[in-house]
Structure 1
Amino acid sequence: MNTIPTIFNDTLPSYTAVGGTQRGASSGLSAVLLNRGGRYPRRTLFQEFEKTGFDFIISIEGTQDRYDLEELSGRFPFVRFILLKQAISLGEQINLAASELSSPLFFVLWNDIRILHGGSAGKIAERLLVSPEEAGKESQVKSPYKRLCTVPVIQNSNFETLPTLVSPGLYQGSVKALPYAPSREGSPTLYPFDGVGIYDRERFVRLGGFDATLSSTYWQLMDFGFRAHLWGESIASTQLIRVSYDGDAPPQDSTADESYKRFYLKNLAPVFRGDSAHLPLRRYPGYVLKSGDGPFIAWDDFSEARKWVETNRYRFAADAKALTENWEHPEP
């Protein structure tokens, strides 16, 4: 198992950046465009983003050859194309995009998603600012923006709202993700579905971004969300921004694989007491039994996770038990 990262993007994948030399606007919000494959009208997408008034666009191109980059980078000088040398995970793509940006906010989208409602990039950024009243209630505001990540209402191609918000639950030591559809402003969610959301870049970097050592997209998102909430950050929805898929939402594979083991050790196993967290030795026998690994391999992984928790012990504000018990679940 790879070493658990302790700093943001300590290992970057190999890539080449093309274009993105000129700022398109001064809204404070940039866009990150992830490519799911297929043939999409890239020129039309960039024109829509230009009208919206994003500062910059980061377009993650993948490993396929692109023969229109010279033309597109000339027409859209605010777009930076990231050409990957090899395929990388969803979280790694978002981490890489964040490392290429300087805007305080960035909006992660896919090439099969359209923005239906939300206004200009400047208006979106303005809505996320902490109001004077909110600033007065919060004595230690870490950022001028409300939260780590704000997720939009997501609809399918028939404009039906999808249950993309997630409440956490624990049952006999196992985590349960309970999906529901957004119905009011500011509803909390465990993680940004499909990675789609508006991120506070400073908070994102301070959190460490996504764990690039997790190969499962589902557990990568779960790890990001749990870590964010356990460390006192907030992820919530807004009714003021709506997006839609061109087709159906991508399926989620929640198989408890190797990525789940690391997710468990980092997020479910630690115990919070007083003002810090620790991973108690009493968790080890149960972990050995559930992991399916031999005692020596299991100990190596458990020991590494203990060191990671020890390093970050004062960043925890709760443990998984308290988080799920105090979660603001939607009304039935």
Structure 2
Amino acid sequence: MNTIPSIFNQHKISYTVIGGTENPKQILMPVTCIVLSRSGRHYRTRVLENLLQKGFEKIISVNPENERKSVDSFARHFPTVKFLVALENVSQGELLNIAFSESETQYVLVVQEEMCLEKFSFDASMVSKFMNKNQFCIAPRLFSDSSTKLPVALFPSARKSVFDVEADSVFLDGQPTLYPADYAGFYNREKFILLGGIDYTISSEYWQKIDFFFRAWLWG
């Protein structure tokens, strides 16, 4: 019997949405950018200013419970950004389910906040190429501040009958990966929902991710 919840986002988490009532001055691509926060807010202004210049149709900033008090000031400063704030302690995967349900575009770019500083590269020409591929998720190459390649090619393996994931920094165009590092990737929103989203019945964030992307592989 399949124990995966059959209805997308059926786990009702308490959250609030602030801002996002104004439209961006310039929309260059029909994409929602979901920004996951996990490391505080000390450079969020730089991140949002950088992302707003890219021309996304909508930006959704996803914030954990402990950032409730700080979001109001950011929402006043960035009226086009929608701030999603959890009112309870939940995983990033569950917050991602909510963010996808709040998105309205067919394609969604998911990034961690610390990935979106000055060296962040994404534009409308890339979007058209990605859309033509019609993939569920396209994973990016990632680099450190010193331009060192990060290990983003992830492969399932077994050692002494124990499941494991091996990582490699060599990542070629079209190369499959088990899952995108830190959820960062260009997603087809409809396919994300059809897959059932992240399984909230799994308590471990690591196994939530493994379960979700194994489903994507097994279901083609």
Answer yes or no: same fold by TM over 0.5: yes
* 1:118 correspondence with 2:117: no
Instruction: Mark the CA change 1:65 to 1:171 in structure 2 (over 3 Å): closer, same or farther.
Output: closer
Aligned residue pairs, count:
215
Identity among equivalent pairs (%):
33
> CA-to-partner distance for each residue in 1:183-233, whole Å, 9 max, x for gaps?
32111000111111111101100111111111212111111111100000x
Map of 1:53 onto structure 2: 55
Distance verdict in 2 for CA 1:158–1:205, change over 3 Å: same
RMSD across aligned positions (CA): 2.0
- The structure number with the bigger radius of gyration is 1
1:61-85 C-alpha deviation (Å, 9 max, x unpaired): 2222555544432332221111211
Shift of 1:173: 4.7
> 1:107–1:199: 8 Å Cα contact kept in structure 2?
yes
Name the residue aligned to 1:81: 83
Matched, 1:221 2:209: yes
Q: Is the 8 A contact 1:21 1:77 kept in 2?
A: yes
Provide closer, same or farther for how the CA distance between residues 219 and 66 of structure 1 changes in structure 2, counting only shifts above 3 A. closer
**Residue ranges of structure 2 left out of the alignment (5+ in a row):** none
Q: What is aligned with 1:15?
A: 15
Counterparts of 1:156 and 1:57, CA distance in 2 = 24
Alpha-carbon deviations, 1:139-191, whole Å to 9, x = none? Answer: xxxxxx52111111112222211112111224565323121123321110001
| Residue 179 (structure 1) aligned to one of 163, 167, 170 | 167
1:9 corresponds to which letter in structure 2? Answer: N
Change (3 A) 1:67 1:222: closer
The 3-state SS of whatever aligns with 1:97 is: helix
Which of 148, 155, 160 aligns to 1:167? It is: 155
Could you say which residue in structure 2 is the equivalent of 1:211?
199
Q: Distance in 1 between matches of 2:180 and 2:22?
A: 29
**Counterpart in 1 of 2:5?**
5
Residue 118 of structure 1 aligns with an amino acid whose one-letter code is S
Name the counterpart of 2:143. Answer: 155
| 1:1-332 aligned within 5 A | 4-24=4-24, 25=27, 27-67=29-69, 69-114=71-116, 116=119, 118-120=121-123, 122-130=124-132, 145-170=133-158, 173-232=161-220
Which structure exhibits the higher relative contact order, with contacts defined as CA atoms closer than 8 Å and separated by 6 or more residues? 2
Rounded to whole Å, the distance in 1 between the matches of 2:105 and 2:17 is 17
**Contact 2:31–2:106, Cα closer than 8 Å, also in 1:** yes
User: Judging changes above 3 Å, is the alpha-carbon distance between structure 1 residues 65 and 150 closer, same or farther for their aligned structure 2 residues?
Assistant: closer
Contiguous gaps of at least 5 residues in structure 1: 131-144, 233-332
Query: Does the 8 Å contact 1:118/1:124 carry over to 2?
Result: no
Name the SS of the counterpart of 1:156 in structure 2: coil
TM-score by length of 2: 0.88
Query: Is 1:23–1:78's contact at 8 Å kept on the other side of the alignment?
Result: yes
Does the CA contact (< 8 Å) of 1:40 and 1:111 recur in 2? no
